[in-house]
């Protein structure tokens, strides 16, 4: 709203911090489960990629989240402000995108039979092949 003080929302949305902690320390503590539990998939994937001498999206996300959180920890310790929500929100958005990606891949059936005609099948989840594979119709024999 015009003419409203910039920090007025804090008076309305203020939640007391438990145990007498500073707000930045409390936010850093709240970020721990997101960074070290929920984002573990990215750190583990980055470690595996780097051991295989490859750089992929897991490395990019792990470096971004890790560097953001480490900087937040440094700033919190030195009393410079509160930045840990940036790494936490980044991790949450990337995890949400990862979840949507897995849901989209799971939308098609994992097994099936081409009964009539021909088809191109994406077998990347099974074989790792990125190109669709040509599948002719299955010919049934009765014994």
60-76 pLDDT, tens digit each:
999 999 999 999 999 99
In a domain, 98, yes or no: yes
Q: DSSP label at 20?
A: G
In a domain, 131, yes or no: no
**83 within domain boundaries:** yes
52 or 116: whose pLDDT is higher? Answer: 52
Per 3-state DSSP, the chain is made up of helix, strand and coil in percentages (nearest 5) of: 60, 5, 35
Higher pLDDT, 90 or 112: 90
Q: Give domain status of residue 117, yes or no.
A: no
Residue 11 lies in a domain: no
Q: Report if residue 94 sits inside a domain.
A: yes
User: In terms of pTM, does the model score above 0.75?
Assistant: no
Question: How far apart, in Å, are the Cα atoms of 14 and each of 11, 64, 87?
Answer: 6, 29, 22
Between 105 and 8, residue with greater pLDDT: 105
Q: Model confidence at 125, in pLDDT bands (50, 70, 90)?
A: low
Residue 139 pLDDT: 58
User: Residue 138: is its pLDDT beyond 80?
Assistant: no
Cα–Cα nearest to 132, from 121, 142, 140: 121
Distances, alpha carbon 88 to alpha carbons 17, 59, 70, 85, 126, in Å: 19, 17, 12, 5, 32
pLDDT tier, 17 (very low <50, low <70, confident <90, very high otherwise): confident
Strand residues in 1-143 grouped as ranges (E): 118-121, 133-136
Kindly state whether residue 1 falls inside one of the protein's structural domains.
Answer: no
What are the phi and psi torsion angles at 4 (to 5°)? -85, 135
Q: Count how many domains the chain has.
A: 1
Domain contains 76: yes
Q: How far apart are CA 75 and CA 98, in angstroms?
A: 29
Domain range holding 41? 21-107
């Amino acid at each position: 709203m015009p003419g409203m003080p910039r920090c007025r929302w804090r008076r309305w949305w203020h939640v007391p911090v438990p145990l007498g902690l500073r707000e930045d320390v409390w936010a850093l503590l709240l970020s721990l489960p997101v960074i070290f539990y929920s984002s573990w998939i990215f750190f583990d994937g980055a470690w595996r990629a780097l051991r295989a001498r490859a750089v992929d999206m897991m490395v990019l996300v792990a470096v971004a989240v890790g560097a953001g959180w480490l900087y937040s920890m440094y700033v919190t310790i030195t009393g410079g402000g509160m930045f840990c929500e940036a790494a936490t929100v980044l991790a949450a958005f990337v995890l949400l995108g990862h979840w949507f990606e897995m849901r989209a891949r799971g939308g098609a059936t994992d097994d099936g039979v081409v009964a009539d005609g021909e088809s191109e099948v994406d077998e990347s989840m099974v074989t790792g092949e990125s190109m669709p594979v040509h599948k002719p119709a299955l010919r049934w024999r009765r014994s």
